[in-house]
Structure 1
């Protein structure tokens, strides 16, 4: 039984859509990039939802948090590769800033998803700072 149903996590849903969009972008790349940057982009993007899903099957929240951290690293790797593709103008006319913004948004979502697992006093700090749980949960769970 899954401790966290990854299919209901907003970060998993968003990262799967991002992976699809990365795949569609790489289809626009010239053939000489098929085994280079295209492959790197696709592997990094697939790694994000894959690690979220794998972590959801782990026995402890600490283990789940570890896999979220790995997925965050993959998101930063993906952002770097997109910046390189933009600088090299591999897909002329593509709106790279929009894609980079989406990746950065996903990075923030993943980061906010790990917070409850990293701090044993997280709930107390939310109450103390008067931050509504609904604010935090909108980054974690799909509607």
Structure 2
């Protein structure tokens, strides 16, 4: 197992960064009229995921870390919803959104597993 010296060593954070990047790349194709709408909302939610994972890792207690992981989960579901709305309203095709949605699904499973493992250990 690789040693964890920083939040940047966490696979879950790395995957969250990949998903945020994919979301940014997808939203580049949205029309300019969405700049302050779905483009901004999607990007904000997507960047919130790795940011909250990192912030939680930097906290001094497991309880705080778990709280930030749960916030990251909420932001992930928000990101997925924005991507699905973009497909439904014709801003993106299903094929174009598929990679970001696949990454989000995988990331959600990873975060849930991390939360379960942290909860299983003795309280902080």
Same fold (TM over 0.5): yes
Gaps of 5+ in 1: 122-143
For 1:95, what is the secondary structure of its paired residue? helix
Q: Structure 1 residue 95 and structure 2 residue 96: aligned?
A: yes
Contact 2:49 2:73 (C-alpha < 8 Å) held by counterparts: yes
User: Offset of 1:15 from its aligned partner?
Assistant: 0.7
* Partner in structure 1 of residue 86 of structure 2: 85
Q: Structure 1 residue 45 and structure 2 residue 65: aligned?
A: no
| Cα offsets for 1:114-140 (capped at 9, x unmatched) | 11222247xxxxxxxxxxxxxxxxxxx
What number of residue pairs does the alignment pair up? 119
Gaps of 5+ in 2: none
Which structure is larger by alpha-carbon Rg, 1 or 2? 1
TM-score, normalising length from structure 2?
A: 0.88
Q: Structure 1 residue 115 and structure 2 residue 120: aligned?
A: no
Question: What RMSD over aligned residues (CA atoms) do the two structures have, in Å?
Answer: 1.8
